[in-house]
A and B are shown apart, each in its own frame.
With several copies, the nearest count.
Chain A
Amino acid sequence: MRARVISNLCIKGSYYKLTIKPSTSIRAIAGQFLMIRPAAYQAFYEPLLPRPFSIHRLSPDGNLEILYKVVGKGTAILARCGNNDEIDFLGPLGNGFPVRLTKGSSGEILIVAGGIGVAPMLYLTESLRASCPEKRVIVFEGGRETVDLLCVEELKKIATEVILATQDGSTGIKGYVTEALEWYLHKRSSEMQATVYACGPNPMLKRIAEIVYPLNVDTYFSLEATMACGIGLCMGCAVKRKGGGYFLVCKDGPVFRGETIDFDF
């Protein structure tokens, strides 16, 4: 599909926000993603493959927002796209986060975002607020330093509480976001139920799985994997399934219940 760039701005550091208008209107749920390739580089094979990006937000006027960090060739090329440039994309792809919690599920909602993993979490927080207005929604956001904490103000407006952590201690708790989560969970009774939504580097997810293992907690993890196609063709985006075999992140995910994933890879 084609979309046109409405704006593509550096927010701070190496973080950018891309707003595109798709040629046809799009509906999506939080946690779904797009495979993106700037049309101007179609004839150039460097980078060759499209890149996966979470849908950051759907604006009321039908635009799609992507929050991204420039880390390599694909994101560098994306950052060079100007207004009115055309973008090729596939999507929305993947399952997204479940936001209608089953009747029985009680307790708090804990949202954990590591680094650019925050990209889909603002939309998720909004969606959960709408579907479960009665619940407490606590957002944990972590980054290397203050510049890596995005969307903090927006999150504060909608979440019950936002707990920040930086590795250099420049903002919030000094340490990993998982330590913040651990500290928070320790304060509560271990019988209390909770649902954890998390997005970030796989080591972060692995750590969360370890932390919540003894507790009464549901987990929904959005996993990262190198992707070539995003739609189940290449079988490249495999992650280990607990008990043997593999999931494809693009097709079976990117959101998985934490206990179904074997993080020993």
Chain B
Amino acid sequence: MPDLSIEIAGIKLRNPVLLASGTAGYGEDIARYCDLNRVGAIITKGIALKPTPGNPPPRICETPAGMLNAIGLPNVGVDTFIKENIPFLKKFDTRVIVNIFGATVDEYGEVAGSFTGVEGVHGLEVNISCPNIKEGGIAFGTDLEATRRVVRTVRRSTTLPVIIKLSPNVTDIIPFAMVCKDEGADAISMINTLLGMSIDTETWKPRLANITGGLSGPAIKPVAVRMVWQVYNAVDIPIIGMGGITTTGDAVEFFLAGTSAVAVGTANFLNPNVSIEIIDGLGRYLEERGIDSIRGLIGAVKI
């Protein structure tokens, strides 16, 4: 069997297939359909200091080969999460990466700090790219100096591995990746959703109550692959790639472009077991080609 294991941001993963934040909840609901003992890691739905209810409905709509969402980061708050949700996740032999967000730079630091020493948490993914809320989102991820401040603050607030989740809604993503590296982030994950909008031509109302939302799914894959390839060639920092990954082939494409691991997002809604199928598929893909490790694919695109 080819070796699928990988170490990223100092986290040892059984395999490089993760569940993307916001598409697997805190693990409970997907666990019935997907064996969490088998995935590389679960990245949990975004967590903030205090509970938030999320946006009013409608929160989602389908678009050609994609979907828009403006869920608005409903979350139970750090305390409840640590008390009630981490214990569930600890039952599984997997890695838990907690996705966090905050309304201010300090809040990012505070949330990050709360996880220090919490058993069962292996890393933090810092969402600076949510397009759906005023706080804690895209305003940080599309401004280089704001990104720098968040990364610096989070880095100082925790000894856990820090992964920064980048926004694709920028002219040039490379400087953002560089800032992450400069400020001591252990890895980056990309991409979050593209900012989009859809209007109902019967009612003339936006299809989302939030007016705009984040575009995800197969439609955005070419944009994600391009950005991964750009960053891989410009910045020496490990990348967790995501954006439309639905099949083994999609995952392979991201590895060839330069990611060290991939995360499956929207595809979980089509098939909550798809990550397991991709893990098995990657094993077969390597085996058929006589490649002994997933590392043989990373950045191997032939230019």
Q: In whole angstroms, how far apart are the Cα atoms of A43 and B267 in the complex?
A: 11
- A45-B218, A251-B29 known; A235 vs B270 contact (CB < 8 Å): no
Contact of A265 among B24, B29, B56, B66 (CB under 8 A): B56
- Is A232 touching B60 in the complex (CB atoms < 8 A)? no
Which residues on B sit within 8 Å (CB–CB) of A45? 64-66, 217-219, 246
Which of under 10, 10 to 19, 20 to 34, or 35 or more describes the interface residues of B? 35 or more
Closest to B221 in A: A45
Which of under 10, 10 to 19, 20 to 34, or 35 or more describes the interface residues of A? 20 to 34
Closest to B28 in A: A232
Main secondary structure of the interface of B (DSSP, over half): loop
Main secondary structure of the interface of A (DSSP, over half): loop
- Is A234 touching B269 in the complex (CB atoms < 8 A)? yes
Q: Nearest chain B CB to A36's CB is how many angstroms away?
A: 11
- Is A231 touching B74 in the complex (CB atoms < 8 A)? no
Say yes or no for B62: interface residue by CB 8 A criterion: yes
- Is B71 touching A37 in the complex (CB atoms < 8 A)? no
Contact of B24 among A49, A90, A233, A237 (CB under 8 A): A233
Which residues on B sit within 8 Å (CB–CB) of A88? 271
Closest to A229 in B: B269
Q: In whole angstroms, how far apart are the Cα atoms of A233 and B266 in the complex?
A: 10
Q: In whole angstroms, how far apart are the Cα atoms of A48 and B69 in the complex?
A: 14
Q: In whole angstroms, how far apart are the Cα atoms of A196 and B71 in the complex?
A: 32
- Is B268 touching A239 in the complex (CB atoms < 8 A)? no
- Is A90 touching B33 in the complex (CB atoms < 8 A)? yes
Q: In whole angstroms, how far apart are the Cα atoms of A47 and B62 in the complex?
A: 8
Say yes or no for A240: interface residue by CB 8 A criterion: yes
Q: In whole angstroms, how far apart are the Cα atoms of A229 and B56 in the complex?
A: 18
Q: In whole angstroms, how far apart are the Cα atoms of A49 and B56 in the complex?
A: 21
Which residues on B sit within 8 Å (CB–CB) of A229? 268-269, 272
- Is A48 touching B65 in the complex (CB atoms < 8 A)? yes
- Is B272 touching A226 in the complex (CB atoms < 8 A)? no
- Is A231 touching B56 in the complex (CB atoms < 8 A)? no
